[in-house]
């Protein structure tokens, strides 16, 4: 993974993508969050030491199903993609007080909703403060049907997975032209939240 990063010395595509995001504290904060995530979770993508070499039979069995037994490095793509998604989620999330003012409630009420599972929150880069990912909000308030949908999602689902569900095209949600819609766009268009809730239950 480190070698791959060294081979590509410019991050112009990443910087361009970051420029299009409403980052609360800039690119430096985004990088710091992604780095913290990789430090905490990167070990899951490192090869475990094997006490003895593979036998010829084991090697052939692996090759027969398309696995290279002598691969030097695991694929780092999944953890990198997750780290970037997580950093974007945290770096664009809104402070609790700002969301409370927007919705006309107290910070305490938002904390209650986070605890009951009807609102998604992530920890800020300091690991303590709560922030609210903005996909749950509209210009005038809260995403229609959000509470019931959030309650249908299993509590152990990671915030990145929950956010991805709301912002990814779903083939079961179609507009008048038969095109797939994201749950966010479906709800903003005034459609019944129930189909989204049913999809959320299967996550």
User: From first to last of its 203 residues, what are the pLDDT tens digits of the chain?
Assistant: 333 444 444 556 556 656 656 666 656 666 666 666 666 655 554 444 444 555 566 555 556 555 555 554 555 566 667 777 888 888 889 999 999 999 999 999 999 999 999 999 999 877 888 999 999 999 999 999 999 999 999 999 999 999 999 999 999 999 999 999 999 999 999 999 999 999 999 99
Number of domains in the chain: 2
Task: Identify the CA nearest to 88 among candidates 43, 154, 31.
Answer: 31
My answer on whether 188 and 151 are in the same domain is yes
Q: What is the pTM of this model?
A: 0.68
User: Are residues 82 and 31 part of one domain?
Assistant: yes
Distance of CA 95 to the CA centre of its chain: 18
10 & 84 share domain = yes
Query: Which residues are CB-neighbours of 79 under 8 A, at least 6 positions away?
Result: 1, 38, 41, 42, 44, 45
Domain end point (choices 64, 90, 116): 90
Q: 116 and 137: one domain? A: yes
Are 63 and 135 found together in one domain? Answer: no
State whether 78 and 112 are in the same domain.
Answer: no
User: Which residue(s) pair with 174 in the sheet?
Assistant: 180
Judgement on whether residues 73 and 161 belong to the same structural domain of the protein: no
**Per-residue pLDDT reduced to its tens digit, 117-171:** 999 999 987 788 899 999 999 999 999 999 999 999 999 999 999 999 999 999 9
Asked if residues 197 and 180 have their Cβ atoms less than 8 Å apart, the reply is: no
50: containing domain: 2-90
Going by C-beta distance under 8 Å and a sequence separation of 6 or more, which residues neighbour residue 84?
14, 34
Asked whether residue 97 falls in the same domain as residue 195, the answer is: yes
Among residues 55, 90, 125, the one where a domain terminates is: 90
Angle at CA 41, nearest 5°, toward 38 and 45?
95
Query: Is residue 80 located within the same domain as residue 106?
Result: no
Are both 181 and 107 inside the same structural domain?
Answer: yes
Domain identity same for 103 and 80: no
């Amino acid at each position: 993974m480190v070698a791959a990063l060294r081979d590509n010395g410019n991050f112009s595509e990443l910087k361009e993508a970051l420029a299009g995001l409403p980052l609360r504290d800039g690119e430096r904060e985004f990088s710091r969050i992604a780095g913290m995530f990789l430090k905490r979770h990167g070990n899951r993508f490192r090869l475990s030491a094997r006490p003895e070499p593979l036998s010829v039979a084991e090697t052939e069995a692996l090759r027969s199903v398309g696995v290279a037994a002598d691969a030097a490095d695991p694929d780092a793509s999944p953890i990198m993609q997750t780290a970037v998604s997580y950093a974007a989620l945290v770096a664009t999330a809104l402070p609790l007080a700002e969301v409370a003012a927007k919705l006309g409630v107290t910070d305490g009420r938002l904390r209650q909703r986070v605890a009951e599972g009807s609102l998604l929150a992530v920890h800020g880069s300091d690991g303590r403060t709560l922030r609210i990912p903005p996909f749950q909000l509209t210009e005038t308030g809260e995403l229609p049907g959000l509470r019931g949908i959030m309650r249908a999602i299993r509590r152990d689902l990671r915030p990145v997975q929950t956010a991805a569900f709301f912002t990814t095209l779903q083939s079961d949600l179609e507009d008048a032209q038969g095109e797939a819609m994201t749950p966010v766009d479906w709800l903003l268009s005034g459609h019944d939240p129930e189909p989204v809730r049913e999809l959320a239950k299967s996550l």
